[in-house]
Structure 1
Amino acid sequence: MKHWWPLIVLGTAQFLMVLDTSVMNVSISQLVEEFDTEVTAIQAVITLYALVMAAFMLIGGRLGDILGRRRLFVTGMVVYGIGSALTAAAPTLWVLALGWSVVEGLGAAMVLPAMAALVAESYRGKDRAVAYGVIGGLAGAGIAVGPLLGGWVTTYLTWRLVFAGEVVVVVLVLCFHRVIAEPAATGRRPRLDGVGATLSAAGLALGVLGVLQSSTWGWVQPRNPPFTVMGFAPTLFVVAAGVLVLVLFSHWERRREARGEDPLVHLALLGRPALRSGLLTLVSQNLILLGLFFTIPLYLQVVQGFNAFETGLRLLPVSVTMLVASTAASRLGRVAGPRRVVRLALLTLTASIVWLLATIDPVIDDGQFAGAMALLGIGMGLLASQLGNVVQSTAGEAERSEVGGLQFTAQNLGSALGTALIGSILIGALAHAFTAQVESDPRVSDEARQATGIALESGVSFVTTEQVTAAAQRAQLPPADVEAVTDSYATAQLNGLKAAILATGGITVAGLLVTSHLPAGRTGARKAPAGAVNPRPESAH
């Protein structure tokens, strides 16, 4: 048992890092009400959390090499605990964003790359594959248990208690951190590349910001932007600026390497096919998962009217099957090969999304919905069991933190894009469907169509049908028009949700295209020398 103590401590940290994202997702309605804001504002807060982690994860990975991985792990846990305390006490939305999205996000950006490296350094061979299976399972469990735990606390107490409880867990992790061995320093410690850090963070931030704001600004035709560019919405220009900054980052990093200086990340790492394929699959995995976990709670809470706890109960099958599948499938990967397991996972996810689409109706079928959620958990668990080990097994001992930074950058970039992109598709499809419904419904008068058009020009939000009814009554529409507009919005809600979920299905199928370089067949047959690069990912070193 003593052998697994480091995994217990590190796994607890991993669970904690992802728990509150799912708590936030299931508490959207309560947060909107408490802070007197809209769904899109909470979407922005959720996206910002993942974005801060993605933007600073490479920096966190490099700091692990500079300061020492266990020391950075401890420092990051302290920062994360401070952010949790600030979130628990947040009096306004801005303080919530500061405590949760920024401070906790920075803490996680220090903890996660160090954690990935410490797991790899603490275990070898089959134990390492098991350890990464457990870590993946705990990450999945955190995402899936969060709705149940957060839902109960939010419904019967307050969501703030979850973050207060996180402070207690952080203190416990800090009390037991010495069970994690501090890896011996090897060679000269690198220096931090400040310019590269700035460019990478700015490029990622601009790219995700553009996607996030697309629901408000519009993609091409301006909807409600703060400014326009040659008559077009600024969205694509902001995304393009992010891409340009990342290109500059790439040139800067290559220049530093050519001069013999320490880069923020050795871009040659991305030339390894297995690592590149693993990272792209991680982006896909988290884009799908966070996109669904933003969309599904909206369906359950806003459309079906369930409270946070009832929502959590309906997401419980994901938690159970994800944890079981991710733990059991680590052995399957050694026998069948990660490529086959990952492809099976993506096909399973596709089937679950098709099943889920069939359950999005005005009246929920709890049995069908539970089945779709259970299948979704199996697919996610299969993915989670493989990717951490595949990515870390491409690295030599000296590259653990750097590869860990890349690993969690990919993971959180996918999370940020999942919430931003799928949320944007949801709002865009809702607006389009609502407009079409109002135009085609013969019960709607010209006066009501005009009033609805004016309202849509100022932006549309995902709200309950009761709120739409109240808004139509405030506009002094006749009762027949109020009923027709409400029915049109209810239909548009379902169409918007289906469009968002269908988009995750498309991303899942596209994910199959990036799996070709994942290792195939039995793994663990060869032994890589310490500090060297493996020619292909292995479970045993």
Structure 2
Amino acid sequence: MKNRATILILGSAQFVMVLDTTVMNVSISQVVADLDTTVPAVQLAITAYALVMAAFMLTGAKLGDMYGRRRIFAIGLGVYGTGSLITALSPNVGVLLGGWSFVEGFGAVLVIPAIAALTATNYEGKERALAFGLLGGIAGAGVAAGPLIGGFVTSALTWRVVFAAETVVVIAILVFGIRSIKDSPPPTTREKLDVVGAVLSALGLGLVVFGILKSSQWGLITPTGALTIGGTEITPFGLSAVPFIIAAGVVVLLVFRRWEQRQMRMDRIPLLRPDLLRLPQLRGGLTMFVASYLIMAGSFFALPLYLQLVLGKDALDTGIAILPISVAMIVAAILGGRLADRVAPRRIVRIGLAILFVGLIGLMSSISPSLASPVFSVSLALFGAGVGFVVSQLGNVVMSSVERSRSSEVGGLQGAAQSLGSSLGTALIGAVLLAGLTSGFHENVLADESIPADVQQQLVDATDQGVAMISKPQAEATVSKAGLPPDEATAVLNHYSEAQIEALKRAVLAASLFALLALWFAGDLPGVPLGTGEAGPGPASGRRGRN
């Protein structure tokens, strides 16, 4: 690769964007103690960050078209670095919410689409395929390495160091690297932002992602909690508010589509040209982005729970345990990028999904109360390699579906697909895990004749709204508070531990089924190599087909 400085800069920015959320997730307990706040308050900040990312990604992409991708990339990094500094210095959770969730979030929606667009501008042919492969591997490795980096820094120093370090990285990029990035010529006439379209897209995407994120707390269909306004629980028709929120978001997005079509008919510049989503290659690439990030997010939701709550590992040991994912992912992403000029994306993605499926099945079979089998580590490496092959292709598939002048729009769609997939993965795999834990615990308790029938019913009634995933010491403390006799308490703890293992296996199995489903959708990807020519406006439909 000739222009290594550019991919180094863009890759560094990509890594920082992805690292952020994973670090916050593993640092929750220290953040709570440091800021004298509560877990729900920190979770609110995490949710708000995800909402900002999803809601404003298309608007951030459009600003790149209007003012230049490199300029918006630089402004976004500046905003992001400012938010990181505010987060590092936060005296309370309110400042954390503002600095991390909103300032950093708005910076990220400027940076992420620009990374994709600038990669398409700076590289051609085989080098472009390799560049997108590297970026995909870096993104996946950032997700996997987050627990290791966050766990080490949190244990040895403080969570604030991570965000302060992000500020330093951003400053280094702005001072030493930004000028080496080539940009497309600026537009000859300044476009006006489609404000109505921006509001509609933000509201629609925000509602959909918000509903998905709250499904674990409020329930997907049956209420396990409730949206509460002024002390009144909102459960329409006795159901969870989640499906109604998601449906409202879909309706708003349909209105957004109609508005954009109206803008085109009136010869005005829309936020997003509706014809983009009619390109089969683009649709296939975006679908695979949703699927791959769903599988990644869902798996990274379940695996740390197993390692930390069942095996009792701390954040640092958890990060070390899943290190094989990061290593294998980077290696596979580089290899996949190098194969892009000789092997079709469809074939590479399907090979990656097959490896990913085998890795997930291996993980499911090796989950046990005491991890002793090397199969777990080998399966983690297979998981990482599978994801690496998949993500090595998708950026190039998506960006090659249009001419360069529309790369920012496509970059925004790519970022939105990644956010949607991550939200779906956490919600769906999390729902499978928690539902399996509850049903498994109830079945185990009701089947144990050594526990009196009245105690069985009390345990089932007390956990009717769901059983939480907690550590063994927390479970022991909970059972102790219940005042059960020693033999009954031991039996209940054993049943809970067994239910945890089975629920985790069920969650990983669900992720593997999504990988199989993705194999079908991979048929929409191009059937010929893309690494040998310029990006074009929608490769011929003859390149596709489910075979």
TM bracket, shorter-chain basis = over 0.9
Distance 1:368 1:454, change over 3 A: same
The match for 1:80 is 80
The match for 2:56 is 56
Partner SS for 1:113:
helix
- In 2, distance between residues paired with 1:305 and 1:522? 46
The match for 2:390 is 383
* Superposition deviation, residue 19 in structure 1: 1.3
1:392 aligns with 2:396: no
Q: Choose the corresponding residue for 2:259, options 252, 272, 278.
A: 252
2:130/2:334 contact within 8 Å kept: yes
1:133/1:329 contact within 8 Å kept: yes
Q: Deviations over 1:499-529 (max 9, x none)?
A: 2222211211111222222111333455567
After superposition, residues 189-200 of structure 1 pair within 5 angstroms as 189-200=190-201
* Superposition deviation, residue 279 in structure 1: 0.4
Decide which moves more: 210-219 or 116-125: 210-219
The match for 1:237 is 244
The match for 1:267 is 274
Q: Deviations over 1:306-349 (max 9, x none)?
A: 01111111111011110111011112222121010011111111
2:345/2:397 contact within 8 Å kept: yes
- In 2, distance between residues paired with 1:528 and 1:100? 36
Partner SS for 2:368:
coil
1:116 aligns with 2:123: no
1:292 aligns with 2:299: yes
Partner SS for 2:319:
helix
Decide which moves more: 85-94 or 418-427: 85-94
The match for 1:102 is 102
Distance 1:356 1:374, change over 3 A: same
The match for 1:224 is 225
1:452 aligns with 2:459: yes
After superposition, residues 22-171 of structure 1 pair within 5 angstroms as 22-27=22-27, 30=30, 45-93=45-93, 95-171=95-171
Partner SS for 2:15:
helix
The match for 1:14 is 14
Partner SS for 1:192:
coil
* Superposition deviation, residue 454 in structure 1: 4.7
- In 1, distance between residues paired with 2:274 and 2:509? 34
* Superposition deviation, residue 116 in structure 1: 0.9
Partner SS for 2:271:
coil
After superposition, residues 492-531 of structure 1 pair within 5 angstroms as 492-524=499-531, 527=534
* Superposition deviation, residue 191 in structure 1: 1.8
Q: Deviations over 1:57-76 (max 9, x none)?
A: 11111010112111111111
- In 2, distance between residues paired with 1:213 and 1:108? 22
Q: Deviations over 1:200-228 (max 9, x none)?
A: 22222222222222222223332221321
One-letter amino acid of the counterpart of residue 444, structure 2: Q
The match for 2:229 is none
Distance 1:303 1:97, change over 3 A: farther
Q: Choose the corresponding residue for 1:371, options 363, 367, 378.
A: 378
Q: Deviations over 1:152-209 (max 9, x none)?
A: 1122222221111111111111112111123212443322112222222222222222
Partner SS for 1:278:
helix
* Superposition deviation, residue 301 in structure 1: 0.6
* Superposition deviation, residue 230 in structure 1: 1.5
2:70/2:183 contact within 8 Å kept: yes
Q: Which runs of 5+ in 2 are unaligned?
A: 227-232
* Root mean square deviation, CA, Å: 2.4
Distance 1:126 1:338, change over 3 A: same
Distance 1:511 1:33, change over 3 A: farther
TM-score by structure 1 length?
A: 0.93
1:186/1:398 contact within 8 Å kept: no
2:129/2:530 contact within 8 Å kept: no
* Superposition deviation, residue 31 in structure 1: 5.2
Distance 1:20 1:433, change over 3 A: same
* Superposition deviation, residue 83 in structure 1: 2.1
2:298/2:426 contact within 8 Å kept: yes
Partner SS for 1:516:
helix
Taking every aligned residue pair, what percent have the same amino acid on both sides?
46
Distance 1:101 1:180, change over 3 A: same
After superposition, residues 277-426 of structure 1 pair within 5 angstroms as 277-365=284-372, 367-426=374-433
Q: Which runs of 5+ in 1 are unaligned?
A: none
Distance 1:525 1:166, change over 3 A: closer
The match for 1:4 is 4
One-letter amino acid of the counterpart of residue 202, structure 1: L
The match for 1:430 is 437
Distance 1:376 1:404, change over 3 A: same
* Superposition deviation, residue 42 in structure 1: 6.0
Partner SS for 1:515:
helix
Distance 1:95 1:359, change over 3 A: farther
Distance 1:513 1:331, change over 3 A: same
1:47/1:416 contact within 8 Å kept: no
